[in-house]
């Protein structure tokens, strides 16, 4: 992990950000273990990838997978973030052949030829106001039927988000990550469609 820095979240220090990420990492591995076998060759999208934290978790857990990261790279919620730094992190981790990043606003249509097996995201949607619903819609359009959306977020208007998300998917799991302190970060896992 030398030379790798996934950045500092706003309203946070580097140490707090790294601590939050270490808690997310533990929970996300356990979630991944319930979704697909490790050997699966998955197409994965990291929505709001920042400097590639979730991309790194997914690409290392699923070594046959390919991860695409979208971010507009001009939002204040990750200090000093850039596309170049995200690519550099993946090079330092030896993941440059199984990851790619694109400058893209999540509220704009993804226009992707790939139907993703899994969409992952951490601490992105709560900062988007009502535009987040357009972004959620784009996530589900890009996800194959039966695919999964694993989202870590604060859900300040939880019932509104849940109503919207449950019209498109089934909630499989929900876990608290940080507990109700300064941040109440929760991880939710949705299945596109319904359980068989
Ligand atoms: C708090 S950071 C989280 C980054 C990364 N997921 C992580 O956990 O380290 C939120 C990220 O969402 C991105 N973001 C916010 N609004 C966006 C939008 N409308 N389109 C694309 N990316 C967006 C920001 O640029 C930022 O990189």
CB neighbour list of residue 155: distance below 8 Å, 6 or more residues apart: 126, 161, 162, 186, 188
Phi, psi at residue 87, to the nearest 5°?
-65, -40
- CA 196 to ligand 1 centroid distance, Å: 33
Best residue for ligand 1 mutational test, from 54, 55, 58, 75 (most atoms within 8 Å of Cβ) = 75
Q: What is the pTM for the complete model shown?
A: 0.97
Look at residue 75 in the predicted model and tell me its pLDDT.
83
Name the residue ranges covered by the structural domains of the chain: 8-192
Q: List pLDDT tens digits, range 68-89.
A: 999 999 888 999 899 999 999 9
What is the bridge-based pairing of β-strands 116-122 and 143-153?
A: parallel
Q: Which residues of 33-53 are buried (b: 16+ CB within 10 A; e: fewer)?
A: eebbeeeeebbbbbbbbbbbb
* Percent of the chain's residues with pLDDT above 90: 88
What tokens appear for 85 in the block? 């730094």
Domain 8-192 CATH assignment equals 3.40.50.150: yes
């Amino acid at each position: 992990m030398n030379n790798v820095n996934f950045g500092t979240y706003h309203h946070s220090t580097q140490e707090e950000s790294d601590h939050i990420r270490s808690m997310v990492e533990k929970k996300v591995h356990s979630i991944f273990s319930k979704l697909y076998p490790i050997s699966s060759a998955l197409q994965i999208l990291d929505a709001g990838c920042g400097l590639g934290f979730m991309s790194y978790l997914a690409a290392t857990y699923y070594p046959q997978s390919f991860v695409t990261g979208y971010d507009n790279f001009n939002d204040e919620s990750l200090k000093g973030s850039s596309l170049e730094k995200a690519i550099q992190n993946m090079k330092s981790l030896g993941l440059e052949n199984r990851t790619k990043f694109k400058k893209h606003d999540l509220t704009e249509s993804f226009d992707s030829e790939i139907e993703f097996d899994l969409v992952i995201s951490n601490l992105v949607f709560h900062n988007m106001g009502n535009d987040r619903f357009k972004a959620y819609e784009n996530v589900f359009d890009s996800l194959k039927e039966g695919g999964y959306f694993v989202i870590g977020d604060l859900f300040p208007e939880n019932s509104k988000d849940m109503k919207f998300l449950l019209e498109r998917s089934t909630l499989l799991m929900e876990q608290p990550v940080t507990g109700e302190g300064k941040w109440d970060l929760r991880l939710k896992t949705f299945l596109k469609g319904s359980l068989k």
